[in-house]
A and B are shown apart, each in its own frame.
Chain A
Amino acid sequence: MTINLHAPTRRELLLASGALFAWAYLPKRALAEGRDPRLLVIVLRGALDGLAAVAPVGDPEWVKLRGDKALTLEGKTPGLPLDAMFALSPAMPNLHRLYQAGAATIAHAAATPYRERSHFDGQDVLESGLTRPGAVTTGWLNRALATLETAGSARPRNAFAVGPIAPLVVRGPAPVLSWTPARLPPASNDTMTRLLELYRHTDPALARVLEERLGLAAIASAGGMEGQGGQNGQPRPAGAAQVRAFFSESAGTAAKFMARPDGPRVGALAFDGWDTHANEGALDGRLAALLGALDGAIAAIENNMGAAWRECVVAVITEFGRTARINGTEGTDHGTATVAFLAGGALKGGRVVTDWPGLKETDLHEKRDLKPTTDLRAVLKGLLHDHLRVDDGALAAKVFPESSAVKPMAGLLA
């Protein structure tokens, strides 16, 4: 098995969301100030249920809304307290520790301008930085980087290749390098079919696992989802152990690169699997496992950044949230406002930043979703301005077009 080192193919990108995509240069203004900032953007694909991850335990309507699925400060799986109003999923002890140490901030009831509920359009708006979906070819992060003066190139020897295809958020005029973990090409359909036949006759439990993979592969090819990067294009998500290892491995390796003196300073990763329509398992099931894996990834970044953690910001964003109420299959459907996580030594953290809209039916967006009261772009602008020194004019015009009314959120960084 050789270790693949090349520009990732489209198919690999669909499968290999562990790939790191990074800017090929170093930011001059920040360096001139004596700082050496790192920014890692993690896109969670599938719409993270913000209410489940960061529960408004102080809101009197909360438990009514979610019943026994509501994370509270009591019970078998109590939440980790953040402030008088909010508690963090107990699956995220590392993030909690960072929060208490002032190295994590949570934005809640935040959303992009997008108000429909399609994953693909939502991710496009999230990553493009535009106000609506449509024909998009570049992402806000790339356009932000393109406005910066550069102070030398970041291209560790033998590690990076130029990637023609990257997640939208880093696509654009600024040159981007990619690193993919060795990705094994999947077994042929014929092999899978034969194996499935054998399992059906001799081991039904194994047959069920394989059937799910075949089923998803069929949806992907029939539904023309290629190139969208949605969760339908993925093979079945791996079991809890694999997800955890995969998230940590990807994030940890990304951090190792970014910690190097000749390594990239700005990068992006994507993690899938957040579309919890059925059996969400926020307290101790699927979503808890995912949040745990994300938490492990953040810890892996912290560990591998080493001294560079002091100057690091990790921004975890998702296309939208989920319904305030549980649906008929113990899950949630697509919603609107959600959380964004920020973690890193460069933050002035330990806060949940929000203008809490409340959870009474009249407070909900379209009587079903958490109402957005913070524009996610304000948070991203604040980061780009204070951390990387992207200037205000560029932010309003080029990076997030038509956003002059959205003020960059100040005070995010120490």
Chain B
Amino acid sequence: MALDPKPQAALALHRFGLGPRTGSVGAIVSDPRGALIAELDRPDAGRIANGELMSSGAAARAAFAFQEARRNERRAAAATAPKGAQSKAGNALAPPEGAARNPASPPAANTTARAGVAPQQIYLDEAKARFAAALAVEIGFAERLAWFWSNHFCVSADKAGVRPMAGAFEREAIRPHVLGRFADMVQAVETHPAMLIYLDNARSIGPNSQAGRNRGRGLNENLAREILELHTLGVRTVYTQDDVTSFAKIITGWTVIPVRQDPVRGGEFMFNPRMHEPGTQTVIGESYADAGFDQGRRVLAKLAGHEATAKHVAYKLARHFVADDPALTLVERLTQRFLDSEGDLKEMAKALIAAPEAWAEPPGKLKRPTEWIVGALRATGVSPADVRPLMQAQNLLGEPLWRPPAPNGFADDNATWLDGLSQRLDVANQFALRLAAGADPTTVFEETLAPIASAETKRTIARAESRPQALTLLLMAPEFQRR
């Protein structure tokens, strides 16, 4: 089912990428599919240059050092200044995290004299890098895949221990494997400190382990359950409650070196045998002898290659890129590719864009808030220095960065996001008035929408009463909202 080249190129950019920039359609029109594959083949595809960003361990330690220093300052202030809160210590405190404040005074200004880095600053730096990458890429297919997997294996920065590590988690556990093997991504994710803290495994103790017998504290099944239910096999598939419990026992001891106790390695993964439940366990009919850390590693390997896992991720992938209710043939094709390639995610991505169903489906899926925001920036050529307004827009539209409401991540269906359309209108309006004031709506239309826009959309934009209104209408047009 061949589309005309220009519409197909535009569809490629909107559906599989992060949206066209000026010149994008022209650059890939001769072979849109080929261009998508070529992006995947780039050596740095899906990655973010680490530059000055901290590793998750370093971030955890820096955040801790910052908070310790603040605690000490407060104690000192309380001792020397009994009268009220407007003391010298009050002046030294950084402005409230993420709150309304003068954008001209960045949060770092007050922290240079103090050890460590504020968790909010770390989070902001990571957000900045992510937005920069999203604006810099040619098409954004690899980037979309990175976002997809990051949401599949999500952690939430709302949890205090996770916050400094949320961005690093994506860079360390997700991105290196986006075009690699699913099994490797699973291993990296489930041993990452951010995940171990988020789903409470860092505190899970085998009842018969040394620590369990000493303290009488016990097992936390959260991570084990979510690995089975959300990350690999999928809900209501082959596992039972007993499997959850057994698996939870297997991964006891998978924990994080406490930052308070170890200023050098704190915040990093460690396997603690004293917390590990001894003995053989059975998970989904298979027996796993106790081999310390390896016991769990083997289970993960098994889960990563399971047919239920293949079906689960194939469905989610199809659902994310193509339709809320994807064609069965597409899902089957992707499932088979997963199994045949032993979970090679680059092969999965290629199979997706090789599938006729992926192109034939009419644009129905609403772009998720961040996809839409980034699309708007790319279309208008805007690259703001301060990303906080962008993050506020994400918050307003219900997709706060690395802060999904639950371990199953942000929902991927239209129903969830449709009601927020009205908020998008307000965001578009502000964007058109402030950030995109220099963009020419006619040019933006020609470059990013014309090949797929209806006559009505074209007319609506052309007849707007002002340039900002024209841009608002463009960003709200159905062809810009759906992909």
Contact = CB atoms under 8 A, between A and B. Distances in A.
Given A1-B435, A260-B96, A198 B473 contact: yes
Contacts of A212: 422
B103 A303 contact: no
Interface stretch (B22-30, B336-344, B423-431): B423-431
Interface string B144-168: 0000000000000011100000000
A256 B97 contact: yes
B159 A303 contact: yes
B435 to A, nearest CB: 7
A159 B101 contact: yes
Interface stretch (A61-69, A126-134, A183-191, A385-393): A183-191
B158 A191 contact: no
A179 interface: yes
A137 interface: no
Interface string B462-483: 0011000100110011100110
B93 A241 contact: no
A1 B389 contact: yes
B350 interface: no
Interface in A147-203: 151-159, 179-182, 184-188, 190-192, 194-195, 197-199, 201-203
Contacts of A192: 425
A290 to B, nearest CB: 13
B422 A261 contact: no
Contact of B405 (A197, A238, A244): A244
Interface stretch (A2-10, A344-352, A398-406): A2-10
A236 B426 CA distance: 13
B334 to A, nearest CB: 26
Interface stretch (B3-11, B55-63, B226-234, B390-398): B390-398
B99 A241 contact: no
User: Which of B83, B97, B411 gathers most chain A CB within 10 Å?
Assistant: B97
B423 A238 contact: yes
A70 B327 CA distance: 37
Given A185-B426, A253-B99, A256-B97, A242 B478 contact: no
B84 interface: yes
A79 interface: no
Nearest to A3: B100
A146 interface: no
Given A198-B477, A202-B478, A300-B158, A238 B472 contact: no
A244 B389 CA distance: 19
Interface string B399-433: 11001010000110001111111110111111100
A21 to B, nearest CB: 14
A269 to B, nearest CB: 14
Given A153-B85, A157-B90, A202-B454, A184 B427 contact: yes
A55 interface: no
A235 B422 contact: yes
Interface in A247-301: 248-249, 252-253, 256-257, 260-263, 296, 300
B220 to A, nearest CB: 13
A3 B410 CA distance: 26
Contact of A261 (B74, B415, B428): B74
Interface in A292-322: 296, 300, 303, 306
Contact of A184 (B78, B95, B429): B429
B460 A241 contact: no
Contacts of A5: 100-102
B398 A158 contact: no
A47 to B, nearest CB: 22
B85 A159 contact: no
Contacts of A239: 398, 415-420
B106 to A, nearest CB: 13
Given A157-B95, A187-B428, A242 B102 contact: no
User: Which of A1, A153, A157 gathers most chain B CB within 10 Å?
Assistant: A1
A261 B100 contact: no
A235 B159 CA distance: 31
Contact of A202 (B389, B392, B457, B465): B457
A153 B472 contact: no
B86 A153 contact: yes
Contact of A241 (B159, B420, B429, B464): B420
B481 A158 contact: no
B332 to A, nearest CB: 28
Interface string B187-198: 000000000000
A209 interface: yes
Among all A-B residue pairs, the 6 with the closest Cβ atoms: A152-B84, A239-B419, A262-B85, A242-B398, A241-B398, A1-B389
Interface of B: 74, 77-78, 83-86, 89-91, 93, 95-103, 158-160, 388-389, 392-393, 395-400, 403, 405, 410-411, 415-423, 425-431, 434-435, 454, 456-457, 460, 464-465, 469, 472-473, 476-478, 481-482
20 contacts: A1-B389, A5-B101, A152-B83, A155-B86, A159-B96, A181-B100, A184-B430, A191-B429, A195-B473, A198-B457, A209-B418, A236-B419, A238-B398, A238-B419, A238-B422, A239-B415, A245-B396, A245-B400, A257-B96, A263-B85
